[in-house]
Structure 1
Amino acid sequence: MSEVRVLVPLPLSMNFTEKVKEFILKYNLIFPEDTVLIGVSGGPDSMALLYTLFSLMNELNFDIAVCYVDHKLRPESKDEAKFVSEVAESIKLPFTLKEINIEEFRRGRTLEESARVARYRALEEARKENNGTRIAVAHHLDDQIETILMRIVRGTSIRGLRGIPVRNGNIIRPLLGVYREEILGFCGENNIRYVIDSSNLSTAFTRNRIRLELIPVLEQYNPKVKESLLRLSAQAEELDQFLSYLEDDLLKRYKISGDEYYIAADSIKSLPEFLKRRVIFRILVEVSPKPTDVREESYKMLTSLLDKSTGKILNLPGGAIAYRDYNGIRILRENPHLLPVYILNIPGVTVIDRLKKKITTEIISKKELFEMASPNQYTFYLDSDKIELPIYLRGPKEGERFSPLGLNGKMKKLQDIMVDRKIPREYRGIYPVIVDNRGEVICIPEYTISERVKVDEGTKNILLLRIECYE
């Protein structure tokens, strides 16, 4: 599991170091022979984290490296970096200084968000430089409470109420079971020196205003509001786990391949709105080449497709594409090296702009077939009653197979067909195939049709495909 969250804080009566150790063991945050890079700002939280982990190094058999990230936003940051460096040297731990330019990470973000993104990027670089396996940061329960409140104020979902995870990938938070008051007490009892970040006292930042202004007001209404918020977060975590279980079950039903899903309209419409939203967002994030671009707009565009007529195609923010057929919506990853998906009009003409071709289709009777001119390599006749409409033209998929006419049902890999036909490697991603609504290849233009859909004695209706080039 890449992400772990704490549901209930540990008892306050425990010795601080023992309490942190139990928390580490409970959530499997550190393993023997790990190298933990600690992000140390010099403040009380990170200094308590540094000394606590240092005291547990031998017992739990892991190594430590120290990193200070200089955001270059305050004149005193150089002195703080020097202070952290001297502390690391005094206890013989490797030290790394990372200097970052916040402006490179702005891109519409707030200063707080830009600093956070830049800081984690720098810590990850330092982890690799020190051959580290974990990054430890000093978030504690008061940070958790502030995060929950900040999300409530800004607007959030059940998932947002879960707060900060104990472990997220290789980032661990060993202090997420203790309060700020306990950290200050630990520093005082052990004469641990630390610096005060002046920006933590500025009400220009939302988090600071919540800590300095909002929480004291809430405590006037409920002295135990912090505990109440943590219980709310724990309940949100449990509910989210249950909903994730339902999501997983639905995604298994909807998944066609690693980058393609099919949602039956009746199925998705019958879901409660909040579950429908979660499922669709999850699909879009999994399918999209740029999952961070998946927004509310993506969800609205996709759900609006349920009310559109068959044949409608949408390019969604994030790089996924979706198209409506008779029974639902197909969602797949857009790939610039592959042929886009085209729904073929029946009857009618479909222009394949990427290939500079147009495909004309019509349904004819067997009698009409005998009256037509002899077929050529650009015209195909298929038994339309053996085909599940609509049909699509797209690029080939990895491992896909096809049963060419004349091979008595024998299947061949499309890859082998392209090699046999001497299709250059760089063009194989846009080598067109025509598939029916079941995803089965029924025709390869300019080659042949599938044995399964050939015209035979029992054929009544025939699908004619005519392919023409244009400039």
Structure 2
Amino acid sequence: MDEKLINSIRNYLIDNKIFNKNILVALSGGPDSVSLLFLLNSVKEEFSINLSAAYVNHGLRSKEENLVDYDIVKEHCSNLGVKLHVKIFKQGEIFEISKERRNSIESVSRELRYNFFNQLVAKDDLIAVAHNRDDQIETQIMRFFQGSSYEGLIGIKSERGNIIRPLINIEKSYLLSYLNSERIKFALDKTNSENDYLRNKIRNILIPTIEEVFPSFRNSLSKLEGKLIDLNQFINLKSKDLEWTNILGSWVTSYNDFLNLSYLERENEIYRVFDKTFHGDIPSYRLPNRFLKPIRKLNFKNNEIILEGHGIQFYRNKEHLIWTLLNNKLLK
């Protein structure tokens, strides 16, 4: 067993005060999630952790490929004595949902996957997902070119709500080395080498070019991430949160108080009330920067709709601003 890797997991659990917890591992059968399962299993007694796992077949690949993943997941959980929960979508079902909602397949898959995970956990339980350092870098690069806010450029948070990411600072190559040295089986998704999705294009085309021009760009991004985290903490320290009142499912706050905030503070409030609305059920979902642009205005007319979309409507009603749910799904 790789002690350096194990110590990284130990340090993560200690830093985040994770003891005596039920942890559900999001398990796909790929190298990242399989590594996460085995690493958490190796320290579960030390930290009094009760492990279970959840596998989702999105119905997007061939039945043969899905069967390979499922067999690996089932075998590992059986050997480790970990309870496995399974969700299977019909072939093409998620594709049809994405067309109906006018949303990407990736976004719909993520939403449905997290909905399933949250159905399996109690209030104080945790969901462990296997994002690693490579995923973090891809996310930061993607958000940079999409014009993300400074907070978005921080990338994937190491923990948020009931979601934990113990592998977030570990490179994928290290995880693959660990699995191979321990002779642990895992599946490889061949679609990761295809450039049909934006993240794959970033991983397979953009990053190799960046690395050729800037060989140490990974370290540079890590330093920038640290500076942005410090900046975010400073802004949060200096800013004062607005008071939001829940009235019949809508969130209400003072119009004048909102107007007195800087743009960064207003943006922070929008994300706070967004999380209140969806109860953190969609932890990796981010509102596009272009969607938030209208909140920059100096003032708003009475009954003016400030934001509308992504399942919500935000408007002025006299001396109040009202954030209300349009439906139970996120829409673009």
- Give TM class, smaller chain: 0.7 to 0.9
Match for 2:80 among 79, 85, 91? 91
Q: 1:210 to 1:294 in 2, by over 3 A?
A: closer
| More helix, by proportion | 2
1:216 CA drift (Å)? 1.0
Partner letter of residue 253 of structure 2? E
Structure 2 partner of 1:119: 113
Distance 1:78 1:236 in 2: 42
Structure 2 partner of 1:176: 168
Deviations 1:315-352 (A, max 9, x none): 4433444146xxxx53245699xxxxxxxxxxxxxxxx
Distance 2:196 2:115 in 1: 24
1:52 CA drift (Å)? 0.6
Contact residue 13 and residue 19 of structure 2 kept, 8 A: no
Contact residue 44 and residue 187 of structure 1 kept, 8 A: yes
Q: Gaps (5+ residues) in structure 2?
A: 327-332
Distance 1:57 1:335 in 2: 40
Structure 1 partner of 2:66: 77
Q: 1:80 to 1:240 in 2, by over 3 A?
A: same
Contact residue 23 and residue 52 of structure 2 kept, 8 A: yes
Partner letter of residue 59 of structure 1? E
Normalising by structure 1, report the TM-score.
0.58
Deviations 1:114-143 (A, max 9, x none): 221122122222335xx9811111111111
Structure 2 partner of 1:31: 19
Contact residue 192 and residue 200 of structure 2 kept, 8 A: yes
What secondary structure sits across from 1:41 in the alignment? coil
Distance 2:74 2:129 in 1: 17
RMSD across aligned C-alpha pairs, in angstroms? 3.4
1:41 CA drift (Å)? 1.1
Distance 1:98 1:248 in 2: 42
Aligned sequence identity (%): 27
| More strand, by proportion | 1
Residues 1:158 and 2:145 aligned together: no
Residues 1:331 and 2:318 aligned together: no
What is the total number of aligned residue pairs between the two structures?
Answer: 305
Contact residue 37 and residue 135 of structure 1 kept, 8 A: yes
Correspondences of 1:4-403 after superposition (within 5 Å): 15-28=4-17, 30-32=18-20, 34-75=21-62, 76-100=65-89, 101-103=93-95, 105-106=97-98, 107-127=101-121, 133-248=125-240, 251=242, 259-263=252-256, 268=260, 274-275=263-264, 277-278=266-267, 281=270, 285=274, 300=294, 303=297, 305-306=299-300, 312-316=302-306, 317=308, 318-323=312-317, 330-332=320-322
Partner letter of residue 110 of structure 1? S
Contact residue 266 and residue 295 of structure 2 kept, 8 A: no
What secondary structure sits across from 1:176 in the alignment? coil
Q: 1:167 to 1:294 in 2, by over 3 A?
A: closer
Deviations 1:193-229 (A, max 9, x none): 1111111111111111111111111111111101111
Contact residue 124 and residue 162 of structure 2 kept, 8 A: no
1:314 CA drift (Å)? 2.2
Partner letter of residue 275 of structure 1? L
Distance 2:106 2:202 in 1: 14
- CA radius of gyration, larger in: 1
Q: 1:206 to 1:105 in 2, by over 3 A?
A: same
Distance 1:63 1:200 in 2: 32
Distance 1:161 1:127 in 2: 30
Distance 1:202 1:61 in 2: 41
* Larger RCO, structures 1/2 (Cα 8 Å, 6+ apart): 2
